[in-house]
Structure 1
């Protein structure tokens, strides 16, 4: 099953949104610390709503601790990538890595990725919100590998605010 990984997140609302995304799709979330906020921040709780109990979240005290347990291909979503995310053949155990909202990932982390993918954007725009970028790429991964929500979806499930 694919996973999402957040590298030293800055914005609690994005972490909460990714926890909710993971809970709804059955995809785990790795949070690589240090975070720019405490993990019980009320802004994060507002984003995750009542989905926190359904989320598979693993906290890692550092990048090195995350790497030590990493068991899949590391796919970095980055504006510095050369390959569009839609041109990749994904694997069921891929880990989609998202950088800090304020700074992305350092060169060491960038270099450790097995793949570096980008979301094509209009000229003159810098980047998408990390939660939106994660949802776009994760949707493609789940479409390709055939795991996750497709097998467990509730027919009446929908998008809510």
Structure 2
């Protein structure tokens, strides 16, 4: 299973969008406190639309609390400071537990934690000259859809039946 992990998210709309993505791709969503909003915030709910009842969500009180839960799972730190691009990793085994940890929108992941775990870091290439960072919900989608592409989109509808039924 793939897990999306947000470290101290501060923007409710991003978290709502990511919750919707997690539901669409059968991923579990983890939020690490403190959160910059309440989960019943109107912006979170609006961005997640009516998918909230289907979100597989766990909220952790701290980064150390979250780390205790991953067991034998693989942890990936998504950061622009990594030297390894996200598409240079083999994610093809859909049976592995993988946790993709994304940093806070304003300050990313804790620097000390990143320095202790550089081998776990992956990045999305970008033009740093003009852009400080990509939007968090876009970053989640970019990385997780590459993971799913390598896994041949397990348990996901790959046909146009929905659209064909709507057009009838």
Please give the TM-score of this superposition, normalised by the length of structure 1. 0.89
Q: 2:74 corresponds to which residue?
A: 73
Mapping of residues 68-107 of structure 1, within 5 Å: 68-71=68-71, 72-90=73-91, 91=93, 92-107=96-111
Aligned-residue Cα RMSD (Å) equals 1.9
| Alpha-carbon separation, structure 2, partners of 1:119 and 1:51 | 27
Q: Hey, what does 1:3 align to over in structure 2?
A: 3
Aligned pair in 2 of structure 1 residues 112, 83: CA closer, same or farther (>3 Å)? closer
Residue 43 of structure 2: SS of its match in structure 1?
Answer: helix
1:156 CA drift (Å): 2.0
> Which ranges in structure 2 are unaligned for 5 or more consecutive residues?
164-168
Between Structure 1 and Structure 2, whose CA radius of gyration is higher? 2
> Mean Cα displacement is larger for which, 64-73 or 112-121?
112-121
Change in 2 beyond 3 A, CA 1:16/1:113: farther
Separation in 2 of the partners of 1:20 and 1:150? 15
Residues paired across the two proteins, number: 157
Runs of 5+ in structure 1 lacking a partner? Answer: none
Answer whether contact 2:82 2:118 (CA < 8 A) is retained: no
Aligned ranges 1:57-72 → 2 under 5 Å? 57-71=57-71, 72=73
Q: What residue is the counterpart of 1:39 in the other structure?
A: 39
